[in-house]
Amino acid sequence: MDYLKLISNDSLKKELSVFHVGDTVKVHVKIVEGQKSRVQLFEGTVIAIKHGGIHQTFTVRRLSHGCGVERVFPMHSPTVEKVEVVREGRVRRAKLYYLRDRVGKAAKVKQKIR
């Protein structure tokens, strides 16, 4: 078991910016189309961070043309180039699944005041 932890710690060398649930982030995702690769942005609110260690994932939700779109990203995936924090949110929950049922201003997260 300790050997598996050593292997997973070696593969966790990629540093991502620190973000929390409720933050609005821009995720830079590498997309490969045939021979070419490009970086695509996905901006939205982090509604969940699950698991831990090498298996850690985060879910980002945004509204696209009035329809809610959620994507789950593995934290240590090579396809995730970087994660930028646009604004920090002030929430009191670990999972923000209640935002799925809300529309308009009710679906906003309050901004953290520094």
- Domains of the chain (ranges; CATH) run 16-100 (2.30.30.790)
pTM of the model: 0.86
pLDDT of residue 50: 96
pLDDT of residue 74: 94
The number of residues making up the chain comes to: 114
The tens digit of pLDDT for each residue in 33-54 reads: 999 999 999 999 999 999 988 8
Check: CB of residue 112 under 8 Å from CB of residue 88. yes
Residue 31: Cβ within 10 Å count: 10
Distance (Å, whole) CA 24 – CA 58: 12
The tens digit of pLDDT for each residue in 85-97 reads: 999 999 999 999 9
The tens digit of pLDDT for each residue in 50-65 reads: 998 888 999 999 999 9
